[in-house]
């Protein structure tokens, strides 16, 4: 009996529909709780982030122009692909320290969350649109429109669900996203990128980076071509940095809500466009 040498996956970045290594050539070791080396993970540089924003910006007009129905279909497809890879995700979460029941619960919740939000893609517009009464001869109505490129900072303690919770309401509303995965538990985010890459999601709609939050956050928060930043953690110093840098181009700074299935999460990265249409002239 020959014992075969296991083939381990290199966890690379996900930018513009491709899986490049960091342009800096850097990577870091990911060890499990017992100190065993599991994987090499790409350590993204600020230039990788810049490239990801370029990819997200160029994907934005076409993604925003798709019908809500079509975006919903694609997100539902993401759920289907996740379902097919359940066992892989559960095993990977366990490598990152979760117990078996905990891992199973997180993966199932993630799939259900994706399907839940997929259903919202063609419904939030009519919920959040309004006809506004005004005291002049105008028909005035307001509709939500995607804000643009959104940076998503995933929470440190959740490898998969934390990221997906924040990402889904952003992209279903027609935004494109650059997500920074949990630094402590980076593996599932990249495996999730493999799901996205095989789900008819156009290249560049979601870009996922792994790396040092301390290194990247100032560049993410300051980037003039990022329109909003969704911050999923509680660190006061980080939030202060984000708020200060975000003021450069008046980025929206979005915090998670208590209810992760709140439809207002979608509204958090929408702009309201109001039209005044003359009547009775």
Partner 1 sequence: MQVVQQPYPNWHPSPPVDQVGVEERVARLAARSIKKESKVAALKLALSMIDLTTLEGSDSPGKVRQLCYKAKHLHDALPDLPHVAAVCVYPTLVRVAREELAGSGIKVAAVATAFPSGQADRETKIRDTRYAIDEGAEEIDMVISRGAFLRGEYGYVYDEIAEIKSLCGDAVHLKVILETGELGTLDRVRQASDLALAAGADFIKTSTGKIQPAATLPVTLVMLEAIRDFHLRTGQKRGMKPAGGIKTAKTAIQYLVMVNETLGPEWLTPSLFRIGASTLANDILMQLAKETTGVYQCADYFSQA
Give me the residues that bind partner 1 (CB under 8 A), please.
50, 53, 219, 222-225, 245, 248-249
At closest approach, how far in Å is the CB of 180 from partner 1?
A: 15
Q: For residue 230, list its beta bridge partners.
A: 152, 254
Smallest distance, partner 1 to C-beta of residue 14, A: 20
Q: To the nearest whole angstrom, how small is the minimum distance from the Cβ of residue 255 to partner 1?
A: 22
What is the DSSP track for 129-157? -EEE--SSSEEEEEEEEE-SEEEEE--TT
Structure tokens at 16: 């513009």
Helix (H, G, I), strand (E, B) or coil at 253: strand
65 versus 248: smaller Cβ distance to partner 1: 248
* CB nearer to partner 1: pick between 20 and 97: 20
Nearer to partner 1, 49 or 63 (CB): 49
Nearer Cβ to partner 1 (115/241): 241
Contact 271, 144 (CB under 8 A): yes
Kindly state the smallest distance separating residue 219's Cβ from partner 1, in Å: 7
210 in Cβ contact with 181 (< 8 Å): yes
Reduced to 3 states (helix: H, G, I; strand: E, B; else coil), residue 15 is strand
> Minimum distance from CB of 186 to partner 1 (Å)?
23
In this structure, what DSSP letter does residue 276 have?
A: E
The residue among 53 and 201 lying less far from partner 1, judged by its C-beta, is 53
Q: Estimate to the nearest angstrom the gap between the alpha carbon of 150 and the chain centroid.
A: 8
């Amino acid at each position: 009996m020959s014992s075969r040498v296991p083939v381990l996956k290199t966890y690379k970045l996900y930018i513009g529909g491709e899986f490049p290594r960091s342009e800096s050539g850097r990577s870091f070791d990911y060890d499990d709780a017992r100190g065993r080396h599991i994987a090499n993970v790409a350590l993204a540089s600020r230039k990788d982030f810049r490239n990801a924003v370029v990819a997200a910006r160029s994907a934005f007009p076409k993604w925003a122009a798709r019908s809500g129905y079509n975006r919903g279909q694609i997100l539902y497809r993401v759920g289907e692909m996740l379902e097919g890879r359940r066992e892989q995700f559960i095993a990977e979460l366990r490598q990152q320290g979760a117990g078996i029941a905990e891992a199973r619960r997180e993966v199932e919740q993630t799939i259900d969350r994706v399907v839940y939000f997929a259903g919202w893609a063609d419904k939030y517009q009519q919920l959040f649109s309004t006809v506004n009464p005004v005291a002049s001869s105008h028909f005035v109505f307001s509709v939500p429109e995607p804000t643009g490129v959104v940076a998503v900072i995933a929470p440190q303690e959740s490898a998969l669900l934390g990221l997906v919770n924040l990402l889904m309401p952003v992209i279903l509303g027609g935004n494109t996203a650059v997500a920074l995965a949990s630094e402590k538990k980076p593996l599932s985010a990249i495996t999730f990128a493999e799901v996205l890459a095989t789900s008819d999601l156009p290249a560049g709609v979601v870009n996922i980076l792994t790396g040092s939050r301390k290194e990247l956050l100032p560049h993410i928060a300051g980037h003039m071509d990022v329109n909003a930043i969704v911050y999923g953690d509680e660190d006061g110093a980080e939030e202060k940095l984000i708020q200060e840098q975000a003021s450069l181009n008046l980025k929206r700074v979005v915090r998670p809500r208590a209810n992760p299935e709140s439809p207002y999460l979608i509204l958090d990265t929408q702009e309201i466009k109001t039209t005044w249409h003359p009547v009775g002239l």
